[in-house]
Amino acid sequence: MQNKKEEPLIRRKIKPTAMRQLVLKELTEQKTAISLSELEKKFERVDRVTLYRTLKTFEENRLIHAIDDGTGSTKYALCQDACECHPDDLHLHFHCSKCGQTYCLSDIHIPDINLPQGFSLISVNMVVKGVCVNCK
């Protein structure tokens, strides 16, 4: 019998190890996207490679998505339950120039992109930069 903490992992066909459950719990508690180094600071004595592999497993199984917000450090945020990380699921991200936080704006979808014939879309990353509501 699975517990509530394991449900998101099992739904995405990820084996619910203790480490994965801890990382998922931390990601669930975040209000903004988080980098590997920020996540690493939240855990004492956890190997950076283990955290990285956990994030990659989550990303490959569409539990989280990676965000390139232009800071040079990839950030990670939980996907919504129905997300399959297809272009139709993609949403806008907002990076605050003042506090450095990156927010998922899940209700604002990236508009359709009509590429020239012969080009194929693999992924889209749209980041708007400005000052967040907390820093205004």
Taken as a whole, the chain contains a residue count of 136
**Secondary structure (3-state) at 118:** coil
Residue 71, domain member (yes or no): yes
* pLDDT tens-digit series, residues 21-52: 999 999 999 999 999 999 999 988 889 999 99
The answer on pLDDT for 87 being more than 80 is no
- Return the SS3 of 120: coil
Query: Is position 65 within any domain?
Result: yes
> Which class for 47: exposed (0-12), middle (13-18), buried (19 or more C-beta within 10 A)?
exposed
**Residue 16 has what pLDDT?**
94
In a domain, 10, yes or no: yes
Q: Is 117 left (phi over 0), alpha (psi -120 to 50) or beta?
A: beta
Range of the domain at 84: 4-130
Mean pLDDT of the chain: 89
- For residue 47, being part of any structural domain is answered with yes
Among 88, 123, 92, residue whose Cα is nearest residue 105 = 92
Rounded distance between C-alpha atoms, residue 33 and residue 94, angstroms: 10
Tell me the average pLDDT across 73-85. Answer: 82
Q: What is the pLDDT of residue 1?
A: 46
**Predicted confidence (pLDDT) per residue in 55-70, tens digit:** 999 999 989 999 999 9
- Structurally, the chain folds into a number of domains equal to 1
Structure tokens at 59: 């990303």
CATH at residue 96:
1.10.10.10
Domain-located, residue 70? yes
Is residue 136 domain-resident? no
Span 5-20, average pLDDT = 91
